[in-house]
DNA sequence: CACTTGACCTGTCCGC
DNA sequence: TGCGGACAGGTCAAGT
């Protein structure tokens, strides 16, 4: 489930692989995965060169020399995998790729470049999308999305002011809300709340300044560590070369219900908060009755 | 208006 | 072994 660290990992990979390559042809299997008018595709995608690859929240932007941008959202099971079959790997090349020969049955879009290399957009559950749009319209797409947590101007006070726009909701729901903060999903919400010792159901308005500072610190630590580990691979997620990420080996609570809390040894539990599976330590992340959502 | 739930999908896992 | 149903969760629309 690609969140900020996964999408950023893909971005870094693609930004090394794609710039300078010119689009030769595009295949797509349905118009839901590939949101683009055919004439726009011919005019602004075919023959355009990839200039660079950027990220905003959980979206990737392939900036094109045509002045258009190919925006990609991987949603739950999306993958963007680059293949260059014209390059032969020598014997003993480490094969830690999670994906096999491409295209496969989950392939929704294939972009072939002039040099023969290809970019595959795979998406088992078809929630993800690719959309071709003018670069000038990107600002509108992002206008309601919250700040990027890894930018240097994202301070704990920024976090506080964003959170306090929703003082009556649970902290977990607020963290998952992309209008509050960009890029956090279920894994990193649970991990950072454990790090800050805050119960996910705590009402935002009841958080102390100290708790928000701890949350800010924990959030940055978790996101940075995950990027360092190449993101979290549960089932589907892979980077631009098809390789898995290893963050889940370092996760403290996510998918660890029944195991001891790394901090206090109490058995971790899985509950449901804000409609999501939620992992926490009932001892480290206490919930007093006056702090819960009604 | 603020917040929660359901729909979108498909593969996987569980119990019978 | 086969089958039905629950579950996974990012986001938006619909519902409370």
Complete DSSP assignment for A177-194: -TTTSSS--HHHHHHHHH
Rounded Cα–Cα distance for residues A277 and A30 (Å) = 31
Task: Look up residue A212 and give its two tokens.
Answer: 């928000």
Question: Which active-site residues of A does the annotation give?
Answer: 2-3, 58, 276
Neighbours of A127 (CB within 10 A): 14
Rounded Cα–Cα distance for residues A130 and A269 (Å) = 37
Give strand letter and number of the nucleotide nearest A128 (CA to C1'): C10
Using a cut of 0.95, tell me whether the model's pTM lies above it: no
Tens place of pLDDT for every residue, chain A, 294 residues? Answer: 799 999 999 999 999 999 999 999 999 887 778 988 889 999 999 999 999 999 999 999 999 999 999 999 999 899 999 999 865 554 444 456 788 888 998 999 999 999 999 999 999 988 899 999 999 999 988 988 999 999 999 999 999 999 999 999 999 999 999 999 999 999 999 999 999 999 999 999 999 999 999 999 999 999 999 999 999 998 889 999 999 999 999 999 999 999 999 999 999 999 989 989 999 999 999 986 555 444
Rounded Cα–Cα distance for residues A88 and A225 (Å) = 33
Does residue A178 approach strand C to less than 7 Å at its CB? yes
Distances (CA, A) of A282 to A48, A91, A199: 54, 50, 8
Residue nearest to nucleotide C10 (CA to C1'): A75
Neighbours of A165 (CB within 10 A): 13
């Amino acid at each position: 489930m690609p969140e900020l660290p996964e999408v950023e990992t893909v971005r870094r990979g693609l930004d090394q692989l794609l710039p300078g390559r010119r689009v030769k042809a595009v295949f797509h299997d349905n118009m839901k995965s590939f949101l683009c008018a055919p004439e726009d595709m011919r005019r602004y995608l075919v023959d355009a060169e990839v200039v660079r690859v950027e990220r905003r929240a959980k979206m990737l932007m392939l900036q094109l020399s045509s002045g258009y941008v190919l925006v990609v959202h991987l949603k739950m099971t999306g993958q963007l995998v680059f293949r260059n079959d014209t390059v032969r790997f020598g014997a003993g090349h480490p094969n830690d790729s999670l994906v096999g020969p491409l295209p496969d049955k989950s392939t929704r879009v294939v972009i072939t470049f002039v040099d023969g290399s290809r970019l595959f957009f795979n998406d088992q559950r078809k929630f993800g999308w690719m959309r071709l749009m003018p670069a000038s319209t990107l600002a509108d797409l992002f206008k309601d999305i919250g700040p990027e947590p890894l930018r240097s101007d994202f301070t704990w006070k920024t976090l506080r002011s964003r959170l306090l726009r929703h003082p009556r909701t649970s902290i977990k729901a607020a963290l998952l809300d992309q209008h509050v903060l960009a890029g956090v999903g279920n894994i990193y919400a649970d991990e950072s709340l454990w790090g800050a010792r805050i119960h996910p159901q705590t009402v935002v308005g009841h958080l102390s300044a100290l708790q928000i500072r701890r949350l800010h610190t924990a959030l940055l630590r978790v996101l940075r560590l995950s990027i360092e580990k190449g993101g979290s691979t549960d089932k589907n997620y892979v980077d631009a070369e098809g390789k898995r990420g290893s963050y889940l080996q370092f996760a403290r609570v996510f998918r660890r219900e029944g195991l001891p809390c790394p901090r206090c040894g109490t058995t971790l539990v899985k509950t449901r908060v804000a409609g999501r599976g939620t992992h926490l330590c009932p001892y480290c992340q206490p919930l007093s009755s006056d702090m819960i959502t009604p």
